A and B are shown apart, each in its own frame.
Chain A
Amino acid sequence: MGHVELVDLSKSYDKQKSVLDGINLTIEEGEFFVLVGPSGSGKSTLLRMIAGLEEITGGTLKINNETVNHLPPKDRNLSMVFQNYALYPHLNVEQNILFGLRAKKVSKQEQQERLMEAVEMMGLGEYLKRKPRELSGGQRQRVALARSIVSQAPLCLMDEPLSNLDAKLRAHMRIEIRRLQKRLGLTMVYVTHDQVEAMTMGDRIMVLNDGKIQQVGKPIHLYNEPANLFVASFIGSPKMNLGNAVFVEESKELVIENALSIKNNSAYLENIKRTEKLKIGIRAEHIFPATSETATHHLEVVNVEQLGNETIVAFDIGAELWTAKWAGQWSVQVGERVPVKIDMDYLCFFNAKTGDLIRPAHFSKEKEVAAI
C-alpha cells in the first residue's frame, strides 16, 4: 500500500501532444523518491500535478488510497519547496515560516511550538527577524525547508530546491535534506535534473524523458542495468561510453565503431542475435589500466583530467569520445599510447534501433547472485 499512487496519469495542454503519458507509479510511505530527467522531460509538471497546482488530464492520482484528482492543493495534506523558494519578500523569516499556519488558523501557542522546533532543526535562531533579501542563498533554502516542516504534512514535494546554490553548499544541503527526511519519516518526492543528486539522495529514482518513464528503480540498479540507451547515458558521471558494434563471425570478434575489436571469449553472449544492430556501453571505471602483458588494446590519449584521487583519461574510438576513470594519480601525456584492458564481461548490450537493453554487464549479474 503506497502513499502516493499514479495510475495511467497523463497531461496535455489544449488537447495537443501530451506532455506526460501513461505514468504508472507507486511511491511508498517514508520513501525518498527522486524524479530525474533533462529539462522539458515533464518532471516538474508531474510534481505540480501531485501538488494540485496543475490540472490532471487523464488517469487517477491517489494519496493515502484516496483519489485526489479533484481536490485543491490545500486538501491534499502536503508541503512543497519551490526552486526559487517562493519566500514572501515583505515578511521576515518568522512570518514566512508561520504564513501557512496563520492561514489555517492554528492556535498561537502551537504556532510558536512548531516554529521553535523547525527553527532549531534548521539553525535559523538568529535570523528570525530578517527579511529574505538579507539572507544568503543557503539560509533562504533553510527558511523554505522550515516552512514545509512546520506544516507537519507527511508528504513533501521538492522542485529542484538546490539548483540555485553553489556546488559546495549543494553537497551540504543534500545531506541535510536527506537527514531531515529520515528524521521526520517524510515521504519525499524530489525533482532534479542533476543525476548526481538523484543517485546520492534517492531511495528510488524514476528517469523521465519526453514525458515517458524510462526506468524506475534503486540508484545502483539504474547504474548497473540501465533499461535503455537514454538511462545509460543519463545516469553516471562521467557518462557511459557508448559505441556501435558488430559481431564478425570469421574471427569471432566484436568490432566497435570499426576501431576496436574484442575477442569474443564469453560464453554468456551466445544467445544475442548476431544479425541485430548492436550498441554497446561500458562504464568509465571498467576500462582498466594495464601492463603490456595484460593489455587487450593500446589507445591514444586525447585528454587527461587529474582530479587528485583519480585520473580521467579520454580516447577517440571512431566517432565517439570514450573516457576511462582510473583510481589514483597516473602520469600519462596527451598523445601517448597507453595499454588498457577492455573485457567483454563489462559490456552492456543495447538494441541500436530501439535503444533497449539486451544484456547488462556480466559482472553485475554475478554480484547480485552472490548477494542473494
Chain B
Amino acid sequence: MSMPNTIAEPIESKLDFEHYKRKERIKSWAKGMLFLLPSIILFTVFLFYPLVRTIYLSFFLTNAAGETTVFVGWENFARMFNSPIFMQSMKSTFLFVLYTVPLTIIISLFLALLANEKLRGIGIFRTIYSSTMGISVAAASVFWLYLFHPSIGFLNMIVTGLGFERIGWLTDPTWALIAVAITTIWMNLGFTFLILLGGLQSIDGYLYESADIDGAGYFYKLKNITIPMLSPTLFFVVTVTIINAFQTFGQIDILTQGGPQNTTNLIVYSIYREAFVNYQFGSASAQAVVLFIIILIMTIIQFKLGERKVHYQ
C-alpha cells in the first residue's frame, strides 16, 4: 500500500504545480489586457475603425452624403493613377518632402550644436530657437502670408531692395511650392531643434574630454562622436519629419489652397478637396489608402536602412 503512494504523490503535486502556473499566466494576461483596454478602445474608435472604413470606401462610389452606392472594385485606384492631377499631386508631394526634410534636419542640427555650447545667456537662444513649437499652424501661416505679400511683404522688400524683380511667392508656379516649403521648415524647426538638443545633451561629456586629451579637433569630434552618438535621435527626427511632410495640410489651405496650377496640391490637400469639395468620398478614400501605403513603405525602408547605421546604446 505504501509503495504506490510514494510514487504517485510527487506526480500529483507536479500536476498541481502546472495547473497553478497556468492559472497565474491567465491572471497576469487578464491584468495586462485591463491596463491596455483604455488605449485599445481609443485606438479602435479613432484609428482602426476609420482605417478599415477608408479601405472599404475606396472600393465604392458614393453619393454626396458619403453613403456607398456602387461597388467598383479597383476602378477608383485605376482612375486615380491615370489622372494627371493626381500624378501632379504625387510629384509635388515628393518634391515637397525633398525640400523640407533635409533642410529642416540640417538647420536644426546646426542650431542645436550652437545652443549646446556653454555660453552666458544661452537659455535665451534655446527659447528662441524652440519657440516655433508653440505657434499654431494657422498663426504661422497667416504670419508668413504677410511676409509673402507681393507688394507690402517683407521678403519682396528685401528682393527689390537688392535690385531684383518682385517675386510672386504664392502665385508663381515655380515659387509657390518653395514658399510653402520655407514656411514648413520654419514651423518644424522648433520641435526638431528641441529633440536634437536633448539628444546632444545626453551624450556623455567624458567622451569629449577624453577626445580633447587625445588631441581631436572640433570637426573630428563632430564626425566621430557627436553624429554617431546622436544617430538614434537623428533617425527618430528624420522619420517624424518625413511623415509630417507627407501629411502637410494646414499651411497649404491657408497660403495657396493647392494653387497655382495645382503645384502645391499636396496629397492630403488633394484628399480633402476630393472628399469635401467634390464629394467624391470613394476616390478620396482611395487616395488616402495610397498615402497610407507610401508612408508605411517609407518607414519600413528607413527602419531597414537605419538598423545598420544607427547605434543604440
Contact = CB atoms under 8 A, between A and B. Distances in A.
A362 B126 CA distance: 65
Interface in B168-216: 204, 206-207, 209-216
B198 to A, nearest CB: 18
Interface stretch (B220-228, B260-268, B271-279, B297-305): B220-228
A89 B229 CA distance: 8
A80 interface: yes
B228 A82 contact: no
A72 B209 contact: no
B228 A74 contact: no
The prevalent SS among residues of B at the interface is helix
A51 B216 CA distance: 15
Given A82-B206, A82-B209, A89 B214 contact: no
Interface in A57-77: 72-74
B79 interface: no
B212 A73 contact: yes
Contact of A89 (B210, B213, B216, B311): B311
Contacts of A90: 228-229, 231, 311
Contacts of B206: 82, 84, 86
B148 to A, nearest CB: 43
Contacts of B224: 88, 91, 99, 103
Given A82-B206, A86-B207, A90-B311, A99 B216 contact: yes
B220 to A, nearest CB: 5
Contacts of A74: 212-216
Interface in A125-142: 133
Residue among B204, B210, B220, B231 with the most chain A CB within 10 A? B210
Interface residue range, chain B: 20 to 34
Residue among A51, A82, A103 with the most chain B CB within 10 A? A103
B229 A51 contact: no
A51 B211 CA distance: 12
A100 interface: yes
A272 interface: no
B313 A104 contact: no
A126 B311 CA distance: 23
Nearest to B225: A88
A99 B215 CA distance: 10
Contacts of B313: 89, 133
Contacts of A121: none
B213 A80 contact: yes
A219 B313 CA distance: 41
Residue among A73, A79, A133, A151 with the most chain B CB within 10 A? A73
A53 interface: yes
A23 interface: no
Nearest to A131: B311
Nearest to A75: B215
A103 B210 contact: no
A261 to B, nearest CB: 55
Interface of A: 51-53, 72-74, 78-80, 82, 84, 86, 88-91, 99-100, 103-104, 133, 151
Which are the 10 A-B pairs with shortest beta-carbon distances?
A100-B214, A74-B215, A103-B216, A86-B206, A86-B210, A90-B311, A90-B228, A73-B213, A73-B212, A80-B213
24 contacts: A72-B212, A73-B209, A73-B212, A73-B213, A74-B213, A74-B214, A80-B209, A82-B206, A84-B204, A86-B207, A86-B209, A88-B224, A88-B228, A89-B313, A90-B229, A91-B224, A99-B224, A100-B211, A100-B213, A103-B211, A103-B216, A103-B217, A103-B224, A151-B214
Given A90-B229, A99-B214, A103-B217, 4 more contacts: A53-B209, A74-B214, A84-B206, A88-B225
